[in-house]
């Protein structure tokens, strides 16, 4: 299972490579998911009804993993650990990382420098 981050889904919508190609390939395989946090980020960033419609069409094809108790607990653990080491990634990204870790997903993001700080988080490699 591949879980897409906000940045690669924005790139897909804009047709920006290489992320657009990655997302398209995962959509074709039927193995692409995202998180409810990314869903929120995408929808809250829509600047007009045309963008919102495009985002909603994409989200209809990409199921979102929920933030449940287990994922919230894992996210809190990630955040505390990174904060203590001085390598914080912020609340939203901690929540996303917690969700992906609980579901043992492979995370598709352009923000590798940021997310490689999270122990155990598998980052997707270009196929």
C-alpha atoms less than 13 angstroms from C-alpha of 31 in its C-beta half-sphere:
11
Contact 89, 116 (CB under 8 A): no
Q: What is the pLDDT of residues 50-71, one digit of tens each?
A: 999 999 999 999 999 999 999 9
**Region for residue 48 given its phi and psi (left: phi exceeds 0; alpha: psi -120 to 50; beta: otherwise):** beta
Q: What is the pLDDT of residues 86-115, one digit of tens each?
A: 999 999 999 999 999 999 999 999 999 989
Q: Which residue segments constitute the domains of the chain, with CATH numbers given?
A: 2-123 (3.40.50.1010)
Per the structure block, which two tokens stand in for 109? 């993001």
Name the pTM for this structure: 0.94
- CA distances (Å), origin 49, targets 25, 38, 43, 106, 115: 27, 19, 11, 32, 31
C-alpha atoms less than 13 angstroms from C-alpha of 126 in its C-beta half-sphere:
9
């Amino acid at each position: 299972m591949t879980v897409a981050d906000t940045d690669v889904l924005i790139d897909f919508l804009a047709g920006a490579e290489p992320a657009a190609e990655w997302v398209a390939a995962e959509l074709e395989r039927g193995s692409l998911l995202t998180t409810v946090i990314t869903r929120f980020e995408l929808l809250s960033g829509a600047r007009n009804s045309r963008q919102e419609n495009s985002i909603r069409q994409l989200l209809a094809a990409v199921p979102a993993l929920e933030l449940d108790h287990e994922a919230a607990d894992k996210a809190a653990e990630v955040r505390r650990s990174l904060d203590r080491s001085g390598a914080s990634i912020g609340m939203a990204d901690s929540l996303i990382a917690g969700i992906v870790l609980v579901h043992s997903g492979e995370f598709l993001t352009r923000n590798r420098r940021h997310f490689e700080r999270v122990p155990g988080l598998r980052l997707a490699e270009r196929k």
